Amino acid sequence: MIETRKRYQKIVDKIKISMIKSGDKIWIKISPIVRKFFPTNLQFILNDECYNFEIYDINGIEAHKIYFKGVKCNPSFYIKSEKNNYRIDFGDNGIIANPISNINNINNHIKKNCNFKSSNSCCWAKAVYYTSRPEKTPFDEM
């Protein structure tokens, strides 16, 4: 049986979000698309470990591309910037960006809505200017 790959893309506040879904596997790439924007972080909890990556650094300069490889999970990430906040949900039908306003306790929101378990999943960030290695499949297709 040949598995088909579904591809999805969404742009949210100068951030390109790409996803490939194939069966129970998911690949996600989050990239800054302009040189300068508001300081922006990506936050979530995977297997009880907190992740906090800069997409745009404290000075608003593009900082990292974030990569996520998951198995048997549909993650949700929290994107926080000075301009807007979003919960990004990844599922079988694509990428959904939910604007969030007036959160009293961001940490509780992340623990409740952006916390998932998947023992075969991993996430990493690569500095935008790190160019010594090409991206591996399927991230090179995004």
pLDDT digits (tens, 9 = 90+) for 37-65: 999 999 999 998 999 999 999 999 999 99
pLDDT at 83 over 90: no
Residue 141 domain-assigned? Answer: no
Residue 68 domain-assigned? Answer: yes
Contact 79, 15 (CB under 8 A): yes
pLDDT of residue 141: 75
pLDDT digits (tens, 9 = 90+) for 103-142: 777 888 888 888 888 888 999 999 987 665 667 778 777 7
Residue 19 domain-assigned? Answer: yes
Count the domains in the chain: 1
- Beta strands (DSSP E) in the chain are 6-12, 15-22, 25-32, 40-46, 49-56, 64-71, 76-81, 85-91, 94-100, 115-116, 122-127
Q: How far apart, in whole angstroms, are the C-alpha atoms of residue 91 and residue 2?
A: 21
Residue 102's pLDDT band, with cuts at 50, 70 and 90, is confident
pLDDT of residue 133: 63
User: Which residue would you say has higher pLDDT here, 103 or 96?
Assistant: 96
Q: How far apart, in whole angstroms, are the C-alpha atoms of residue 4 and residue 2?
A: 6
pTM of the predicted protein model: 0.90
Residue 142 domain-assigned? Answer: no
Percent of the chain surpassing pLDDT 70? 94
From the number of C-beta atoms within 10 Å of its C-beta (0-12, 13-18, 19+), residue 46 rates as buried
For 36, the token pair is: 């300068």
For 105, the token pair is: 């306790």
Domain membership of residue 10 as a residue range: 6-136
